[in-house]
């Protein structure tokens, strides 16, 4: 198995092509089985072309996987033999996954952009359906998985089981925020520091808690601190989506989240090491301008237009803040970035 650290010592990577063909399926099955204990089979086991990144975030495990059609069957006998009491959350990115749960209704099929959760205490039968690939190889499934202890979720297990096996779209609400947060975590996996991992795992559990509690109308079960952290993540996502709007202010943000401005300031500063909402907005706008100015696809866009894309109406404001943050002007940064020289 090709495994390595990703800056934190908490990430492992599996690439099928780095392992002898006859060993690939067993290696991949062992890696998944650490948190998703099931009987795994595949018609492609003889030459299993799969990839997986496993990221440990405290008590949360994030799995990014790409694999050909396979079956994951957790039987009642297997549950009785060993139950780690873990929730499994899966976000389908491409292809599809079908789910059968004994006598719990018809088989469900989840496609790209859908989330569903399972409980290791209940039997299940999941099959990867795969999507067509550009080459001649087998269809593939692309998915993100999250595993964490049942005990970490404040929602009572008997209530949470009401939602197990149901599909939810990532297009709106807390599922959208959760899905985007997980995708962002996966993209930044190699950059995470050791102190960040457990904190980010806590945020994942908070977002799952807020999502399930809302679906169950059981928000009172979520601790105040977890609820506040979830609100902060909602606010951050809202800010990122609306950076282009020069009218993005704390009062607008508070109204969009049905909270008072004073409460917004209080919870935000508590979970951002004292940084104010306005300062966080300025920081994200500068980061966006920094990226956009270095983007070859936007090289013909004048600096003032880049500023407007970031919600900064006066180019002089961008120049002043940009130089204070990065030590050079926006034009100098663009020139260095696009000419291939280091710096900025």
pLDDT tens for the chain, residues 1 to 344? 344 333 343 557 888 888 888 889 999 888 888 889 999 999 999 989 899 988 888 899 999 999 999 999 999 999 999 899 999 999 999 999 999 986 566 789 999 999 999 999 999 999 998 766 665 567 889 999 999 999 888 888 888 888 899 888 887 778 888 888 899 888 887 777 777 888 888 889 988 888 888 888 877 767 788 888 888 888 888 898 899 999 999 999 998 888 889 989 988 888 877 889 999 999 999 999 999 999 999 999 999 999 999 999 999 999 999 999 999 999 999 999 988 654 44
Task: Decide whether 11-222 matches 237-338 in CATH topology.
Answer: no
Is the CB of residue 123 less than 8 Å from the CB of residue 102? Answer: yes
What pLDDT shows up at residue 134? 62
What pLDDT shows up at residue 156? 84
Domain locations along the chain: 11-222, 237-338
For domain 11-222, give the CATH number.
Answer: 2.60.120.10
Q: Any residues with CB less than 8 A from the CB of 317 and at least 6 apart, and which? A: 307
pLDDT in tens, 230-254: 888 888 888 988 999 999 999 999 9
What pLDDT shows up at residue 8? 42
Q: Which residues pair with 226 in a beta bridge?
A: none
Phi and psi dihedrals of 51, rounded to 5?
A: -135, 150
Is the CB of residue 99 less than 8 Å from the CB of residue 107? Answer: yes
CATH 3.40.50.2300 fits 237-338, yes or no: no
The CB density around residue 135, as the number of other CB atoms within 10 Å, is 6
In this structure, the strands spanning 141-149 and 71-74 are unpaired
Is the CB of residue 145 less than 8 Å from the CB of residue 90? Answer: yes
In this structure, the strands spanning 114-119 and 86-94 are antiparallel
Is the CB of residue 85 less than 8 Å from the CB of residue 151? Answer: yes
What pLDDT shows up at residue 154? 85
pTM of the model: 0.70
């Amino acid at each position: 198995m090709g495994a390595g650290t990703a800056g934190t010592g908490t990430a492992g990577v599996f690439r099928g092509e780095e392992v002898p063909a006859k060993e690939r399926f067993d290696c991949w099955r062992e890696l998944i089985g650490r948190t998703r204990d099931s009987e795994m089979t595949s018609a492609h086991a003889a030459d299993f072309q799969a990839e997986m990144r496993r990221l440990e975030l405290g008590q949360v495990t994030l799995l990014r996987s790409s694999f050909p059609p396979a079956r994951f069957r957790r039987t009642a006998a297997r549950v009785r033999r060993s139950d780690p009491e873990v929730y499994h959350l899966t976000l389908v990115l491409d292809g599809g996954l079908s789910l059968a749960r004994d006598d719990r209704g018809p088989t469900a099929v989840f496609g790209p952009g859908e989330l569903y959760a399972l409980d290791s205490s209940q039997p299940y039968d999941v099959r990867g359906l795969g999507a067509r690939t550009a080459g001649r190889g087998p269809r593939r499934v692309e998915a993100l998985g999250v595993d964490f202890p049942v005990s970490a979720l404040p929602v009572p297990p008997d209530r949470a089981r009401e939602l197990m096996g149901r599909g939810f779209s990532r297009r709106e609400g807390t599922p959208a925020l959760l899905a985007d947060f997980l995708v962002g975590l996966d993209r930044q996996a190699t950059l995470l520091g050791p102190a960040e991992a457990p904190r980010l795992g806590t945020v994942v559990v908070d977002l799952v808690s807020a999502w399930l509690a809302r679906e169950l109308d059981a928000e009172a079960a979520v601790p105040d601190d977890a609820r506040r952290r979830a609100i902060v993540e909602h606010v951050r996502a809202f800010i990122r989506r609306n950076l282009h709007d020069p009218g993005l202010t704390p009062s607008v943000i508070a109204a969009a989240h049905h909270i008072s401005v004073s409460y917004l300031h209080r919870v935000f500063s508590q979970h951002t090491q004292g940084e104010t909402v306005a300062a966080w907005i300025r920081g994200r706008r500068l980061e966006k301008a920094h990226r956009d100015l270095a983007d070859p696809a936007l090289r013909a866009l004048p600096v003032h237009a880049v500023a407007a894309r970031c919600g900064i109406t006066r180019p002089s404001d961008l120049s002043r803040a940009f130089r204070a943050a990065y030590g050079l002007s926006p034009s100098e940064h663009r020139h260095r970035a696009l000419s291939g020289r280091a710096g900025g």
